Structure 1
Amino acid sequence: MTDTPAETGNETASRDYRETLFLPTTDFPMRAGLPQREPEWLERWGKLDLYRKMRQRAEGRERFVLHDGPPYANGHIHIGTGQNKILKDIVVRSHQMMGFDAPYRPGWDCHGLPIEWKVEQNFRAKGRNKDDIPVKEFRAECRAYAEEWVGVQSGEFQRLGVSGEWDDPYLTMSFDAEAAIVAEFLKFAEQGLVYCGSAPVMWSPVEQTALAEAEVEYHDKISTTIHVKFPLRGVRKDGTAIPRDCIGAHVVIWTTTPWTIPGNRAICFSPEIRYGLYKVTGVEAEGFTPWAMPGDTLIVADALWDETAKAANIVGWDRLETVDPAGFVCSHPLAEADRYWNYPVPLLPGEHVTDEAGTGFVHTAPSHGAEDYAAWMDFPEWHDKHEAVPHIVGPDGAYYDHIPLFAGLHIIRLDGKKQGQDGPANKAVMDKLIELNMLLARGRLEHSYPHSWRSKAPVIFRNTPQWFVAIDRPMKSGGTLREKALGAIAETGWTPKAAENRIRSMVEQRPDWLVSRQRAWGVPLTLFVEKGTTRVLNDHKVNARIVKAVAEDGADAWFERPASEFLGDEYAADDYEKVTDILDVWFDSGCTHAFALEPRADQKWPADLYLEGSDQHRGWFQSSLLQSCGTRGRAPYDNVLTHGFVMAGDGRKMSKSLGNTLAPNEIARKYGIEIMRLWVAAQDFTDDLRISEEILQTSVDAYRKMRNTLRYLLGALHGYDETVEHLPLERMPSLERWVLHRLQELDGVVKAGYAAYDFKKVYSALFNFCVVDLSAFYLDVRKDSLYCDRPDADRRRACRTVMHEVFMRLTAWLAPIMPFTMEEVWLSRFPSEDDSVHLRTFPKTPQDWHNGALAENWRTLRRLRRVVTGALEVERREKRIGSSLEAAPRVYVADPAYRAAMKAEAPGDIDDFLAEIAITSQAVLIDGAAPEGAFRIDDIADIAVVPGRAEGGKCARSWKYSTQIGADKRYPELSPRDADAVAYWDATHG
C-alpha cells in the first residue's frame, strides 16, 4: 500500500497531527505463531465442547453425511492420510456452514493383516512363534494393539484441525460392529452366494494367507525368464498321426516363473496366430555349449521366432512348414525325471494368447494363475478325476512333500535379510531342465509384479481351498451381484468423472469375491459345514444365535462357545464343523455403512459422500458397493469423490530410504497445520500432488498475505458500531458498491465451489480477492479516507460498512479451510467465552449488491489505473518523486470508453475522482493522442501517461498537495477536508 503521513511522520508541521488521524488499532499479531497457537485453539474447542454445540446449532436442518473410510489402526499417520482427513474436514465444515447438519463420525479398521502382522513381529521379538500362542491370547493382543493406535491416530487427526465425534468413533472390532459384520455375511450365505472352491489365489508365503487384489501393490521385480521345450507326441488327441516333419519336434513356451513348471498341465495357443516349424541349422557359441543344437526342430509363432532365436543364440534356421497345433499333445519336460509327470500335456485354444511376447504358446499351470485355471477348467476331459487342479505348493511357499525332486524347496525366502527374494525353487527347476535338455534359453526381465502390501514381499498364485462370494450366480432377490453393482455405479455421482469408468471396468472384469483368509485376527466366517464336505448349513435360527452371541462377547464367541450352543436341538454337533477362516478385511470395512450409518438416528443411509484415494476403486469403494448391493440392492453412497496420491517435490514416490518423506507432525511443528491445510485446498487434489519444503513455502507466503489483509480489516474496523455507522447501499460511493458486487459474485463462487468439492476454485477466488482486490486496490485507495476523513463522513462510513461486510464473509468462507486462523480473527473482533466462528453459517448476500454495469466500468477504470501506477513506479524509482501524492499525472485516452466509465462512477469532478483512485494529489484525464515519450504498457495501447508534479502546498496532515492549503484560517497548514476533520477531533477530544 502507498505510504501515508501516519506511517512516515511529518517533521515540518508546527503541530503533530498524527494524533488526529483515525488509524487502525488491533492487538491481532502480525506473526501467527501457528505451531504454538493451534494446540491452544484445540484445547479451547475441547473445553467448549464445540462439536456438540455445532450439532445442537444444526438440529433440524437437512442432513449431509460424509462416511469416513476407516484407516488401519496401526502406525503414525502419514502425509497421504493427513491430506485425506483434511479434505474430509473441509467438506464437512463447508456443508455445515452452508446450512446443513453435517456430522462427522470417524472410524477405524481394526482387523486384518496389517495389525496381525505387527503383533506377530512383537511376539517373535520375544522369542514366541504365532503357532504356539493360544488363539484367545493372540486375538487379545491384536485388540490391545489396535486400541493403542486408535488413541494415537485420533490425537494426530485432531491435531490436523479435524472436527468430529472423537469421543465415540466407530471401530470394526467393537462387539456391535462384529455382530453386524457377521449378520451381513450370513445374508450372503442365505442368498446362496457363498461357496467353497479350490482355485489359484494370490498368496503371501511370508504371511501365509490369501490376499485380495486390494491387499497387493505392484513394484518392479527382476524375474528369471526361461524358454522351455515340450516334446511333441507322435499322435494327436484324436489318435491321428502328426505331420511327419513334426515328429521329434518341440513346442516352445516362455515363462517368468520357472517354479511353476512342475505344475504344468497344458499349453495354450491361439487359432488366430500363425505358427511355424523351424529347423535349427546354426548356433553361436561363445565360451559355452548352447542348449539349442543344429537339427533341433521347434514350433514357435512366426511373429516371435526372431526373438526366440536370438534368446537361444540360434543364428541359422530353415522354416519347414506352417503348423496347426490344434489337437497336438506334448509330454511334460520333466517326464523323464520322474513318473509323476508322465501325463499328456494337451494344446488347448485360449483367448488370452497373443503374439506380443514370448513364443505364442502359453505354459498353463492351473494351480498358479487365474487365466491358466480358467483355460484348464474349460476342458474337463483332461482333468484327473480325483484332482482337477493339482496342489503343488504349500502355505509356506514350498513344494509339498509329494512333489518329486523339489519337495520342501521354497519359491520365496521367508525371513532374514533376503526375505522376499527368490528361494532355491527356480534354480532347482532350471537345473533339472538343463539336465534333461529341455531348457532352450534363459534371461532376466524387469517388470511390474504384485507384492504384499504389508510384508512388501512378492506374492505367488497358489491353488488352495477358499471361500468365495459368487458375483454371477442368480440371487433370490433377482439378478446377479455383478449386475446390481454395475447398475449402482451408473446411479452414483463420481468425481472426477473418469472414476466411474475405472470402477466399472474393475467390476465388469473381477472374479468371484475371495472372502476367506487363513489368519487369526478378525471376524470369522461363521459357517457350519457338514463334516467331510463344504456344504453350508443355512438355517436362519442358527444364524440368529450366532449373531446374538457375537453381539454379547464379540467375534471371540465363535471360537470359545461350543458348536451345540449355536446349532441348538435341531442339529447334532458331531455332524458339523465350524469354518475358522477369517473374513476378508475388505468385507469388514465394506460393512461399515451397516453399523456406523444405518442404525443411528444422528447419521443417514445412504451416505451423501464417500471420499478416499483413487486406490479405493478396487478397495473400500468396491467392497462397500458389492456388500451393499448384495444385501440392499444399491450402493451405500450417492456420491464418491477420489483424490490422488501425495508425491515428493520431484514427482517420485515418498520413501524413507530416499529421505523424501514429510510427515504432518513435522509440518505442524515447523509451520503449523494451517499451512498444510492451505496446501491441500490450493491443489487439484483429484490428481497426484507434490509436496516439499519449497512447495510449502508458497503456502506460507499466501498465508502471510491473507493474514495481513485480515489484520488490516480488524484494525480498520476498531470501534465500528453497525447501528451508528452503517450506510445504506443507495448512499454509498461507486467504489464501495463495486466491492459489494464482488462479494455477491464471490458468494456464488464460494458456495458452488464447496458444493462441487472444488476447493481450489474457492481458495483461488478468496486469495485473489484478499490480495488483489482488497490489499492492492480497494484498501490502498481508501486508506486516505479511513485515516483522514472525519468519522461521520459518508465516504468513511461507507468504507467501514463495506469492510464489515467483507469481514463477516471472509471469516466464514475461509473457516472450512483455515479453522484456526478464522477462529482467532473472529474472536479478536468479537471476544466471547462460548462463541466460535464455526457455529456460524455463511452469511446471506443480498442479490441487489450485484451490479454488472458498475463492475464493467470498474474493470475499465482499473485498467486505466494500472497504467498510471506503472508510470508512478518509474518516477519513484528514478527519485523524481518520493510519494505518489507528489504527482499530478496527465492521462491520455484514445478510447471514449474510459471517460464514459469515469463519468458514470465519479461522484463529482472527473479529474478529482481520477486522482482519488490513482492515489495522487491531482490528475487530468485528456482525450486524444499522447505526446512522444509518454509512458505506456505494452498490452494497453490506448492509454498513455505523462507524469507531472502536483501544484500547491502540502497538507501537514494528509500530505496531499492542494492549492487550498490554509483556506480554513484555524488550520493554516491543512487542506479544507483535513481542517474539518481536525475541528471534529478537537471538538470531541476536549
Structure 2
Amino acid sequence: MADSKRDYKDTVFLPKTGFPMKAGLPQKEPGIEARWREIGLYEKLREARAGREKFILHDGPPYANGDMHIGHALNHILKDMVCRTQNLLGKDAPYVPGWDCHGLPIEWKVEEQYRKKKKNKDEVPAREFRAECRAYAHKWVDTQREQLKRLGIMGDWDNPYLTMDFQAEATIVAELCKFAEAGNLYRGSKPVMWSPVEKTALAEAEVEYEDLTDSPQIDVAFEVAEAAAGSVIQNLLDGGATIHAVIWTTTPWTIPVNQAIAYGADISYHVFDAPDWTHENPHYFLVAEELIHPFLERITGERAVGHVNPDGLLFKALQCALDEPWVIKGSDLAGTKVRHPMRHLGGFYATPRPMLEGDFVTTDSGTGLVHMAPDHGEDDFELCREHGIEPQFAVMDDGRYRDDWLWLGGADERRRSVINKPFNAPDGPICNDLREAGALLSASADYEHSYPHSWRSKAKVIYRCTPQWFVPMDKDLPEGGTLRSRAMSEIERVEFIPAKGQNRIGSMVEGRPDWVLSRQRAWGVPITLFVRKDGSYLKDAAVNHRIVEAVRADGVDAWEKARKAEFLGADYDPDEFEMVTDILDVWFDSGCTHAFVLESGRWPDLQWPANLYLEGSDQHRGWFQSSLLQSCATRGRAPYDQVLTHGFTMDAKGKKQSKSLGNTTDPVKMMEQTGADIIRLWALSVDFTEDHRIGDEIIKGVGDQYRRLRNTFRYLLGALDGFIGDMSDSGEIPELELYVLSLLSELDGKLRNAAEEYDFNTYTRLLVDFCNEDLSAFFFDIRKDTLYCDGPESTARNAYRTVLDLLFHALVRYAAPVLVFTAEEVWQTRYPEDGEQDGSVHLLEWPSVPAVPSDRAKWEKLRSLRERVTEAIEPLRRDKVIRSSNEAIVTVPADAVPEGVSDALLAELFITGTVTRGQADEVRVSKSTDSKCGRCWRLLPDVPEDGALCGRCASVVGEETVSG
C-alpha cells in the first residue's frame, strides 16, 4: 500500500523554463534591438527573400521637426506590420524610411530660434539660413530615427531617403522640368491661402480650421448710382429716390478693395422704405426678400422672439418693408452700378461698381448681395475676371495695405495687418470710417463660423491675390484628357482602404482649383525657370539638364544669379531672362518621392509603382493627392495601387490631443515605462481606420492582454522543455488534439486573410482570443493533468506535447509582427543556438499548419456543455462547499452529450471527479465522497484513502496501490 503521507511533488512533471513572467520590456528591448543592428537583421531578411514576389510599401515622409508623437508611432507601427506580415507570407517586402526636410515646418522652427535671439531672418544671407535649416532637419532626422528603431520598426535605417539630399533635390528639379517642358506650368494671379505671419502662400493641407464665435459681421450700404433704362430702380432714381444696395460680410478688411457687387439671377429682391433708426429721413434698401427679417433685426438691434413688439423699430421697419415693396427679380439688376462708400477719397474709389450676376449667390445668410473683392476671394476673382476687372494687389505679404493705397495705406497711423482683431473689429478703423461715411448699417462681433488658420503659426490666414506659379487642372494634355480627368480615372482604379477614402479624395480632386506650386520662402527646392520679359518661360531641355546636374552636385544653393549665364549657355542672352526666386510647394517635393526613391536605383530592392501608400486620413488632401497629381502628369497613372488610411489618436475621452490641453500621450516616455511592445499591441488592437483612443486605463487593459499572451508562451516553453519529438512520435492523436489542430488551421486561414487585407485589429484580436479562450481557458486547462501527471512514455502526453510544439511554431510566427521584441525573446529562449548563429524569429516564414479531420460540431457541443458545468460548479466553490472542480460529482443531461463520448472523457474535459448522466435538463453538482490522489489531486473511486495514489499515478511512480 502506498505511503499516504508521502510528498509526490518531485514526481510531477511541472513545466520548466527560464522565460520570466515579468517582462521587463523597457530594460530588455534596447538590448534586443542592438543585437538586430549588430547581426544586420534587415539585410539578412533581404537576402532571405531575394527573388521572391515584391511587395512595396512606399513610406510617406514625416516632417523632421520634433520628437516622435503618438500619431507617428501608430503610423510607423502599421507600416511595420504591413511589411513584416508580407515578409512572413514569403514576399520580398523592403522598407525604406524617409523624411520631408524642406519648407515651412523646418524654416518656421529656425525662425523661432532667431526670434528668441532677437535676430532678423531677412538680414541673414540665404545660404547661411538654408544651412541652418539643413542642420536643424538633420538633427531631428537622427532623433526620430533612433526613436523609431526603439519602437521596433525594421527598415533600411542606415540609408533612409531625405528630400534635402542633393540627389533628391536634383530629381525634384528634373520632375519640375517635365512639367515645364510639357507646358503644364503657368504664372498667373489668383487668390490663394496666404499667411501674413509666415509671409507665404499655403497649400490646403497646411491649413486647419478653427471654430470662431466672435468674428465680425457688418451690413454696408452702397448707394445705387444708375440702373438699366426703364427698370424699376432707374424709375425710382429718376423720381428722386435714394436707394442703397446692402451687402453683408464677415471680412470688413476686404471693403477697401471692393470692385463689384454680385446678385443671384433667380432671387427675388425688394426695394423698400424703412424708417431710419437715427430718426431722420427714410432710406430705400435693396435686399433679398427671404433675408429682410434677419437684416432688419441686425440693423435695429432688436430680435423677434415669439412675436414682434409693435412699438419697436423692428416692427415698424417690417411693416414698411413688407406692405408695399417694389419686387425685383435678380436678373433685372443687370446694368446697375453702385458707388463705393469711400468715394469721397477719389481715385480708385471714385469709379462706380457694377452689379454682376453670380451663380454662387444664395439666400442662406446675409442680404442676398455679395460684395466682390477679386484680390481676396476665388468666386470674386473668377466673376470679376469674366467682366475684365483685375485685382489691385493692395495687401502686402505681411497683411498690411500698400504704402500708396488711398485708404489705410502709407502714413495712416491706424495701419495694421488686415486680419488682426483691432483692425478688423466693429470698432476698428475700417468700420469707424464706414460709420463716419454713413454707410455702416450694423456691426457686431458675434458671428460663429469655421475659419482657416496656419497649422504651424496658428495664425489666421487670408485669401490674397499674388502672382504665383500654377499647374493647370483642366488643360488638355497631348496624350488626351486633362490632369483632373486623368487623376479622377486613377482614383476609380486604385483600391482605397477603407473604401470611403475613394469618395473623400475624389471629391477633393474633382473640385480643387489649379495647383499652386510657388512659395515665397528660402528653404526649399527652387522653381528653376527662366522667364522672358513677356512673361513666357524658357523650355529648353539642354538648359534644364545643366540646372539638374548643378543641383545634383551642389544642392539647392546651385540656383543663384551668379550662375545665370552658365545655365543659359551660349544660345541665350542672360539680360533677356529673369530667374524665378520662389521655391516649390513642399507637397510637390513629397509628391516626387516615388520618383527618387522607387525609380532611382539607389535602393535596388524597390520598384515602381508602389503596392501601397499608408498614411493618416488627412493625407487625402496632402501626400496622397500631390503624389497622384505629380505622377499622373508625368507618368499617366498613380504611383500606387492601394491606399490605406488611419484615423487620429484621441485621448481617453475622445478629445483631440493637444499640448495646450495637457492630454497628449508621449510614446517615447511610454517606451521607457511600459516598453515598445505594449504600444505596438495597442496600435494593432484598435480600429485604426477610424479615430481611436489612448489613455492610462486603455494602456492598462492592453498590458493585461500582453500578460496573457506572454503567459501563453511561457506555458508553451515550460511544457516543451526537453521536447524533441514530432508528429510521427506521438502515436494516435486524441480527438481533443485533433479538434485544437482544426481550430489552429481555421485561425491560420483567418490570420492570413487579415494580414492580406491589412485588417490588423482583427488579426490581433483573433490571436489574443485563440490564446486566451481556446488554449489557456480550454486546451491547456484540460490537458494540464496529462502534462503534469502522465508518465514520460505516455502516448497521450506525447501527443499533447507534439501539438504544443505545432502551436508554438505557429503562434510565435503569428505574434512576431505584433510583439517584435517578445517574439524574439520567446524564440531565443527555446532555440539559444539559433541566436548564437545570428538567427532570428523575424527571418522565419508563415507556418505550415496541417489540415486535420475533426468533428467540429461534436466538440462545439462539448465546449458548450463544459461552460454549463463550470457555471453550475461556481456557486459551490463560492460557498466553499468544494475547493476545486476535482471535488465535484456532476450529472449532465444525457441528451446534451454527443454520441460516443464516455463519462471518463467528460470528467477529463470538465476537470471533475466523476460524471454521470441524467434525464433532467439542468446540470446537477454535488461533493464527491471519493478519496483524493496524493499526486494528481483527483478524487477517484480507485484511490483507497486520501493521500494514496490512483492507478495512473501509482504506475508512473512505480508504487502499488490497493483498489478500494
Amino acid paired to 1:375: L
CA distance in 1, matches of 2:414, 2:754: 53
Deviates more, 1:145-154 or 1:371-380: 371-380
- Structure 2 residue matching 1:32: 3-state secondary structure: coil
Match of 1:835 among 839, 844, 862: 839
1:392 matched to 2:397? The reply is no
Contact residue 399 and residue 410 of structure 1 kept, 8 A: no
Matched, 1:764 2:765: yes
1:497 aligned residue (499, 520, 534): 499
Change (3 A) 1:420 1:145: farther
Q: Report if aligned partners of 1:527, 1:536 keep a CA contact under 8 Å in 2.
A: yes
Could you list the per-position Cα deviations for residues 314-356 of structure 1 after superposition, in whole angstroms to 9, with x for gaps in the alignment? 5123232102323221111111243430112111111111101
Q: Secondary structure at the match of 1:808?
A: helix
Secondary structure, aligned partner of 2:53: coil
Instruction: Give, in whole Å, the separation in 2 of the partners of 1:806 and 1:421.
Output: 66
Q: Which residue of 2 aligns with 1:717?
A: 720
Deviations 1:963-986 (A, max 9, x none): 22369xxx9921111111112999
- Structure 2 residue aligned with 1:248: 242
State which of 405, 408, 416 in structure 2 corresponds to 1:406.
408
Per-residue displacement from partner, 1:919-952 (whole Å, max 9, x unpaired)? 01211122x2x2xxxxxxxxxxxx4111123343
2:578 maps to a residue whose letter is E
1:281 aligns with 2:268: no
For residue 65 of structure 1, the aligned residue among 52, 56, 62 is: 56
Give the structure 1 partner of residue 326 of structure 2.
321
Q: Residue 287 of structure 1 corresponds to which residue in structure 2?
A: none
Matched residue SS, 2:531: strand
Q: Which residue of structure 2 lines up, in the alignment, with residue 631 of structure 1? A: 634
Is structure 2 residue 927 aligned with structure 1 residue 949? yes
Counterpart Cα distance in 2 of 1:293 and 1:29: 91
Deviates more, 1:572-581 or 1:470-479: 470-479
The code of the aligned residue for 2:260 comes to A
1:353 and 1:475 mapped to 2: Cα distance? 33
Deviations 1:449-494 (A, max 9, x none): 1111211100111111111111111122322111111111111010
TM-score (norm 1): 0.91
Q: Distance in 1 between matches of 2:415 and 2:712?
A: 61
Q: What letter matches 2:156 in structure 1?
A: E
1:611 aligns with 2:614: yes
Match of 1:142 among 133, 139, 144: 133
CA displacement 1:288-309 (0-9 Å, x = unmatched): xx5x866111111111111110
State the Cα distance separating 1:135 from its structure 2 match: 0.9
- Cα–Cα, structure 1 residues 194 and 737, in superposed 2: closer, same or farther, change >3 Å? same
How far apart, in 2, do the equivalents of 1:76 and 1:863 lie? 51
- Checking the alignment, whether the CA contact within 8 Å between 2:598 and 2:607 is kept in structure 1 is yes
Aligned to 2:463: 461
Structure 1 contact 550–557 (Cα < 8 Å) conserved = yes
CA distance in 2, matches of 1:259, 1:150: 42
Q: Can you list the C-alpha shifts for 1:117-155, whole angstroms capped at 9, x where unaligned? A: 111222233332111111111111111111111101111
Superposition TM-score, scaled by structure 2 size: 0.93
2:498 and 2:645 in contact (8 A); partners too: yes
Q: Which amino acid aligns with 1:298?
A: F
- Specify whether residues 579 and 12 from structure 1 end up closer, same or farther in structure 2 by C-alpha distance, changes over 3 A only: farther
Deviation by residue 1:668-714 (Cα, 9 ceiling, x = unmatched): 12211211111111111111111111111110111111111111111
Partner residue in 1 for 2:916 = 924
Identity of aligned residues (%): 48
**1:634 to partner: Cα distance:** 0.2
1:157 is displaced (CA, Å) by 1.1
Q: Which residue number in structure 1 is paired with residue 423 of structure 2?
A: 424
Which position in structure 2 is the counterpart of 1:7? none
Q: Given the alignment of the two structures, is residue 190 of structure 1 paired with residue 181 of structure 2, yes or no?
A: yes
1:413, 1:422 within 8 Å by CA — same for their partners in 2?
Answer: no
Q: Secondary structure at the match of 1:876?
A: helix
**Residues 647 and 410 of structure 1: is their aligned pair in 2 closer, same or farther, counting only changes over 3 Å?**
farther
CA distance in 1, matches of 2:706, 2:493: 40
Q: Partners in 2 of 1:92 and 1:364 — Cα distance?
A: 53
Which residue type is aligned with residue 291 of structure 2?
A: L
Which stretch shows the higher mean deviation, 636-645 or 437-446? 437-446
For residue 12 of structure 1, report the CA deviation from its aligned partner: 8.8
The structure 1 residue matched to 2:196, chosen from 191, 201, 205, is 205
2-structure distance, mates of 1:55, 1:814: 21
Which of 71, 75, 78 in structure 1 is aligned with 2:66?
Answer: 75
Of 975, 978, 981, 2:953 maps to: 978
Deviation of the 1:422 alpha carbon: 2.3
Per-residue deviation at 1:423? 4.6
- Mapped to 2, the partners of 1:341 and 1:794 lie a distance apart of 102
Q: Which runs of 5+ in 1 are unaligned?
A: 1-10, 284-289, 931-942
CA distance in structure 2 between the partners assigned to 1:556 and 1:533 by the alignment = 27
| 3-state SS in 1 of match to 2:687 | coil
With 836-845 and 585-594 compared, the bigger mean Cα shift is at 836-845
After superposition, residues 882-921 of structure 1 pair within 5 angstroms as: 882-893=883-894, 896=895, 898-899=896-897, 901-903=898-900, 906=901, 910-921=902-913
Q: Distance in 2 between the 1:869 and 1:637 partners?
A: 53
Partners in 1 of 2:396 and 2:123 — Cα distance? 20
Task: Say if 2:252 is the partner of 1:258.
Answer: yes
**2:217 paired with 1:225:** yes
- Counterpart of 1:424 in structure 2: which amino acid? F
In structure 2, relative to structure 1, the CA distance for the partners of 1:133 and 1:78 (3 Å cut) is same
Alignment of 1:682 onto 2:685: yes
Instruction: Specify the alignment match of 2:573 in structure 1.
Output: 572
Which residue does the alignment assign to 2:520? Answer: 518
Equivalent position SS for 1:889: strand
Q: Is the 8 A contact 2:408 2:415 kept in 1?
A: no
> What displacement does 1:113 show?
0.6
Give, in whole Å, the separation in 2 of the partners of 1:560 and 1:678. Answer: 54
- Correspondent of 1:306 among 271, 293, 298: 293
Output the CA distance in 2 between the equivalents of 1:745 and 1:195. 59
Higher deviation after alignment, 877-886 or 744-753? 877-886
Amino acid at match of 2:656: K
Deviations 1:897-921 (A, max 9, x none): x33x252xx3xxx111111100012
2:379 is matched with which residue: 371, 375, 387? 371
Q: CA deviation at 1:560?
A: 6.2
**Distance in 2 between residues matched to 1:12 and 1:411, nearest whole Å:** 105
SS of corresponding position for 2:375: coil
Q: Residues 875 and 670 (structure 1 numbering): CA distance in 2 closer, same or farther, change over 3 Å?
A: same
Say if 2:827 is the partner of 1:826: yes
Q: Residue type matched to 2:292 in 1?
A: W
Structure 2 distance, partners of 1:678, 1:293, is: 74
Rounded to whole Å, the distance in 1 between the matches of 2:747 and 2:741 is 10
Say which SS state the counterpart of residue 639 (structure 1) adopts.
strand
The answer for the alignment partner of 1:96 in structure 2 is 87
Against the structure 1 CA distance between its residues 420 and 361, is the aligned structure 2 distance closer, same or farther, given a 3 Å change threshold? closer
Q: Does 1:236 align with 2:220?
A: no
What is the CA–CA distance in structure 2 between the aligned matches of 1:740 and 1:241, rounded to whole Å? 88
User: What is the aligned-residue RMSD (CA, Å)?
Assistant: 2.2
Residue in structure 1 matched with residue 667 of structure 2 by the alignment: 664
The alignment status of 1:39 with 2:30, answered yes or no, reads yes
> 2:110 corresponds to which residue?
119
CA deviations over 1:749-792 (Å, ceiling 9, x no partner) = 10100111101111111111111111111111001000011122
Q: Which residue of 1 aligns with 2:303?
A: none
Deviations 1:6-50 (A, max 9, x none): xxxxx9932221111111001111111111111111111111111
1:354 corresponds in structure 2 to: 362
Instruction: Give the whole-Å Cα distance in 1 for the aligned partners of 2:288 and 2:752.
Output: 62
Deviation at 1:193, TM superposition (A): 1.1
Q: Find out whether 1:864 has 2:865 as its counterpart.
A: yes
**Matches of 1:916 and 1:234, distance apart in 2:** 101
Q: Which is worse superposed, 600-609 or 475-484?
A: 475-484
Q: Following the alignment from structure 2 to structure 1, what is the Cα–Cα distance between the partners of residues 415 and 147?
A: 37
> 1:244 Cα shift?
1.4
Between the aligned partners of 2:78 and 2:831, the Cα distance in structure 1 is 28
Partners in 2 of 1:368 and 1:178 — Cα distance? 33
Q: Which residue does 1:937 correspond to in 2?
A: none
- Distance in 2 between residues matched to 1:136 and 1:227, nearest whole Å: 50
2:472 to 451, 456, 470: 470
State the 1:962 CA deviation.
2.1
